Amino acid sequence: MTSVDECRARFDAAREAFEVEEGQPTENYITKVVEAICGVLYTLRYDVEKGRDNLVGIIIDDPTYVKKFGQTFRRPARPSVYDDSITGEKVTVTIRKAEAVWKAKIQDWDLYDTAEEESSRFITDSVEDVWLTELKKKITVYAEVKAITMIDHLRKTCLGTHEIDILALQDQMREMHLKLDTVPEYIENMEKAQEQSDRAENKISNAMMVNIATKAMLSTERFPKTNDDWEDLPKAERTWARWKTMYRKADNKDKVKKKARDAQFGGLAKSTALSATVSQPSVRFDQSDTKKEPVTLEELEGCFDAIATAAVTGKDSIESLTKTNAVLTKTNAELAAVIKSLASSGGGRRNQDKKGTGGGGGRPDKPDRQAKWCPNCKRDTWHDPDDCFELGKNKDNRPKNWKSVFDKN
């Protein structure tokens, strides 16, 4: 049996970890408070004698408790110090048994009373006093108010989920796959949203869950084979439970393929959001991850499929590069022909011999000869640099009206 001190310690740890929100509590926040308290109560060892009851009955309503444990929660009455029904002058086995049972009842009561007190304290620490003040007593304050009474009061006065909020919730569900890394996380958040709609008495059906989730997976194209398998199922078999099973399996295979890619490329891929179609690199790869669970034959086959797909993708990329290179080669040849044509027709920077400037001679008789750069007159021309009129040694060969290209007057 859990001791009273251990019970208080667990509640202290839960309070420290809980994120308190200010202002009027919403339906979602109240649910978080209840879940935090249940997380402590469920772990406490209680009802040692018969083992039928659990202390979560302190905080949840009877229908929910009955659904979980098959009976209503029996709140114990405070026992006396000694069992007056035990009589007899001799110590017998029956008497020892009766004493042990009575001692267990006292311990159960102490644990129950402490758990009830700590649950109420958790609520008062998590919610501003103004929202509980109607339950406060003049002398005992909240000491006589049970935790479940506080929760019922808060639910009646809180900001409940309106029909408009349900529409917004559906919009959030349609984008959940963009922010979550794995299918299990996606399923968990989807079902939490469904529970929220149920508390608002406007439950999102399993059929709607299937429609939203299927559309999300089709848009990502991350699990194409599973998408095809799902579409091939008869309509009657496309249930939410079947969807979860199929896509969890696909997610597990994806993790194996990621490990294979990591092993092939020295440890790279880090899982990204479900919207990503290819895993992205990370800084390091923990080799211990490969030893956590055995790999099945089916998972290995999926791994080889991924490698084959990568090989085909690489081949396609090479073929695409080859085609692009051929196009560039053809384009370069065409450009070279254009340049040659321009040069032969006198395009570009020509000499000005016909105007009496430049020097060294006019165009050659052979039209296929290309113009060349002359370092003396700084032009593309057809004369040899040694024959350029700009050189003093060739001044006697200059035409009558010759003018230097450097003379700006």
Range of the domain at 377: 346-397
Kindly provide the residue ranges of all beta strands, DSSP E only, lying in 106-170, ordered along the sequence.
Answer: none
pLDDT computed for residue 291 by the predictor: 45
- Tell me: do 386 and 263 sit in the same domain: no
- Where does the pLDDT of residue 397 fall: very low under 50, low under 70, confident under 90, or very high at 90 and above? confident
**Residue 159 pLDDT exceeds 60:** yes
Q: At what angle do helices 27-41 and 93-126 cross, to 10 degrees?
A: 150
- Tell me: do 231 and 369 sit in the same domain: no
pLDDT computed for residue 115 by the predictor: 95
CB 210 within 8 A of CB 240: yes
| Closest C-alpha among 361, 368, 399 to residue 383 | 361
- Tell me: do 240 and 358 sit in the same domain: no
Name the domain boundary from 108, 124, 157: 157
Sign of CA dihedral 332, 338, 344, 347: negative
- Tell me: do 137 and 81 sit in the same domain: yes
pLDDT computed for residue 33 by the predictor: 95
Name the domain boundary from 157, 187, 209: 157
CB 153 within 8 A of CB 47: no
Sign of CA dihedral 167, 170, 174, 177: positive
Q: Which of 64-68, 186-190, 298-302, 332-336 shows the lowest per-residue confidence on average (mean pLDDT)?
A: 298-302
Residue 160 to residues 27, 98, 129, 155, Cα–Cα distance (Å): 5, 50, 19, 8
- Tell me: do 150 and 187 sit in the same domain: no
pTM, full prediction: 0.47
- Tell me: do 52 and 152 sit in the same domain: yes
Residues forming beta bridges with residue 280, ordered by sequence position: 270
- Reported residue count of the chain is 409
CB 370 within 8 A of CB 344: yes
Quick check: is 366 in a domain?
yes
Maximum Cα–Cα distance for the chain, whole Å?
A: 155
Give the mean model confidence (pLDDT) for residues 208-229.
90
- Tell me: do 142 and 169 sit in the same domain: no
- Tell me: do 147 and 172 sit in the same domain: no
- Tell me: do 257 and 351 sit in the same domain: no
Residues forming beta bridges with residue 380, ordered by sequence position: 373
- Tell me: do 145 and 230 sit in the same domain: no
What does the alpha-carbon distance between residue 246 and residue 240 come to, in Å, rounded to a whole number? 10
Convert the pLDDT of each residue in 100-154 to its tens digit. Answer: 778 888 898 999 999 999 999 999 999 999 999 999 998 999 999 999 999 999 9
State the total domains in the chain: 3
**Residue 348 pLDDT exceeds 50:** no
Quick check: is 337 in a domain?
no
**Residue 310 pLDDT exceeds 70:** no
Q: Which carries the bigger pLDDT value, residue 171 or residue 8? A: 8
- Where does the pLDDT of residue 165 fall: very low under 50, low under 70, confident under 90, or very high at 90 and above? low
Name the domain boundary from 157, 174, 190: 157
Q: Which of 206-220, 318-332, 364-378 shows the lowest per-residue confidence on average (mean pLDDT)?
A: 364-378
Q: Which two tokens stand for residue 147?
A: 């935790």
- Tell me: do 152 and 19 sit in the same domain: yes
Class of residue 245 by CB neighbours under 10 A (exposed 0-12, middle 13-18, buried 19+): exposed
